[in-house]
Amino acid sequence: MSDEATAQSDALDAEGAIEADPPASAYGVPVTNERDQQVLFPDRDNYIATIEALKADGFVSAVDLCGVDNLTRAHRSLPAGVAPERFEVVVSLLAHEPPRRTRVRVQVPESDPTIATLFDLYPGTENLERETWDMFGIVFENHPDPSRILMPPDWQGHPLRKDFAVGTVPVQFKGASAPR
């Protein structure tokens, strides 16, 4: 076989291997690359183990943690093996040596919107988790202070949920007559 034919054969084998390969993974969970950043998709059961592995690998700072309500995006693109749920918790981690960032996206079901707290691993996440609970109703198990942070303590509901009733809070402007 000529060198050119061998190279073509090797290229075909490589193409076939790519198609037969399982989905990409890192730290034992599905991974994608979005905007030149690694994005990991652990399930709730592997969330803490994945975060611990990332911390051991040099991701020393949790720079953000937020909730997402995907009520209107049920058919969004996720890696193979990741079942879409209504809610997501998204954590952005930073490593300094070598400098790199990664994101962790965990699917959280509407029927049981709970997930473990990261407070023991990254104490700076306390208020971020409180905000996520306050706005989306995602409960962080074993959180040291699961109280509202943005809304009044007696507020009913979670205002950033896509099904939260809009415009139900009466507004009284100074100098305006009371509604009749």
pLDDT tens readout for residues 35-64: 889 999 999 999 999 999 999 999 999 999
Query: Is 173 inside any structural domain?
Result: no
- pLDDT confidence band for 171 (50 / 70 / 90): low
Query: Is 123 inside any structural domain?
Result: yes
- Percent of the chain whose pLDDT exceeds 90: 72
CB 62 within 8 A of CB 79: no
- pLDDT confidence band for 178 (50 / 70 / 90): low
Query: Is 174 inside any structural domain?
Result: no
The mean pLDDT of 134-144, rounded to a whole number, is 97
- pLDDT confidence band for 15 (50 / 70 / 90): very low
- pLDDT confidence band for 6 (50 / 70 / 90): very low
The residue count of the chain comes to 180
Residue 49: which domain range? 17-141
- pTM for the model stands at 0.80
Tally of domains within the chain: 1
Query: Is 89 inside any structural domain?
Result: yes
**Long-range own/partner contacts, residues 46-54 (CB < 8 A, 24 or more apart):** 47/104, 47/106, 47/115, 47/116, 48/116, 48/118, 48/121, 50/104, 51/91, 51/93, 51/104, 51/118, 51/121, 51/122, 52/121, 53/27, 53/28, 54/27, 54/93, 54/102, 54/104
CATH code of 72's domain:
3.30.460.80
Determine the Cα–Cα distance for residues 106 and 68; give it in Å rounded to an integer.
10
Cis omega (within 30 of 0) on the bond before 153?
no
Higher pLDDT, 101 or 13: 101
Higher pLDDT, 20 or 30: 30
Determine the Cα–Cα distance for residues 38 and 126; give it in Å rounded to an integer.
24
Query: Is 48 inside any structural domain?
Result: yes
Query: Is 91 inside any structural domain?
Result: yes
| Position 175 pLDDT exceeds 80 | no
Please provide the average confidence, as pLDDT, over all residues in the chain. 87
